[in-house]
């Protein structure tokens, strides 16, 4: 339709045989697919449905920008240990676990994957020794964060 600008992620669907008339929004960000159909009849006409589709698209894009900016800010904030860090390495923590009165010590590396999931890995002080367990945790995090 010439009255409507071509906007990436928004397509017109007209299928008279099944009574479908409206706007389809499809966007993918960081592997997550967003999609919604805005029917002309549900939204009071072609123009109104189009406007709702554009609003939905903008809401998804704004959310994606906020996530990206937040991740960039948090990545910057974790580039250098803050004052609470006792190990001297960002994302590497000494863990003391007491199970049934027995103490277990680990060095734990943690990071956030690109999909937002949290990952951790532990290295036993009993098995590797304190220094080696710490080094392994640091190396594991470095590799997970892109092999800096």
**105-126 pLDDT, tens per residue?**
999 998 888 777 888 999 999 9
pLDDT above 50 (res 73): no
Domain extents for the chain? 10-77, 92-144
Q: What is the pLDDT of residue 106?
A: 93
The average pLDDT across 45-70 equals 84
Whether residue 53 is predicted with pLDDT greater than 80 in this model: the reply is yes
Q: Three-class SS of residue 19?
A: coil
* pLDDT band at residue 51 using 50, 70 and 90 as cut-offs: very high
Hey, what long-range contacts does 74-78 have (CB within 8 A, 24 or more apart)? none
Give the model confidence (pLDDT) of 82-98 as tens digits. 556 667 778 898 888 88
Query: What's the pLDDT score for residue 77?
Result: 41
pLDDT at 79 (0 to 100): 55
pLDDT at 23 over 60: yes
pLDDT higher for 21 or 64? Answer: 21
At which residue do the structure tokens 């904030």 appear?
77
**Does the model's pTM come out above 0.85?**
no
Q: Return mean pLDDT, the chain.
A: 82
Strand partners, 36: 25
pLDDT reported for residue 12: 92
**Best CA proximity match to 21, nearest among 29, 11, 31:** 11
**Given the DSSP bridges, would you call strands 92-99 and 32-39 parallel, antiparallel or unpaired?**
unpaired
């Amino acid at each position: 339709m010439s009255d409507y600008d071509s906007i990436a992620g928004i397509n017109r669907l007209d299928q008279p045989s099944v009574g479908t008339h409206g706007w389809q929004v499809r966007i993918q960000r960081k592997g997550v697919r967003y999609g919604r159909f805005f029917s002309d009849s549900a939204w009071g006409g072609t123009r109104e449905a189009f406007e709702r589709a554009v609003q939905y698209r903008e809401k998804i894009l704004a959310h994606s920008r906020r996530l990206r900016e937040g991740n960039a800010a948090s990545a910057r904030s974790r580039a250098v240990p803050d004052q609470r860090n006792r190990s001297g390495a960002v994302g590497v923590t000494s863990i003391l676990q007491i199970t049934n009165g027995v103490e277990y010590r680990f060095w734990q590396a943690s990071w956030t994957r690109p999909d937002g999931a949290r990952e951790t890995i532990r290295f036993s002080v009993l098995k590797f020794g304190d220094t080696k367990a710490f080094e392994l945790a640091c190396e594991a995090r470095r590799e997970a964060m892109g092999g800096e």
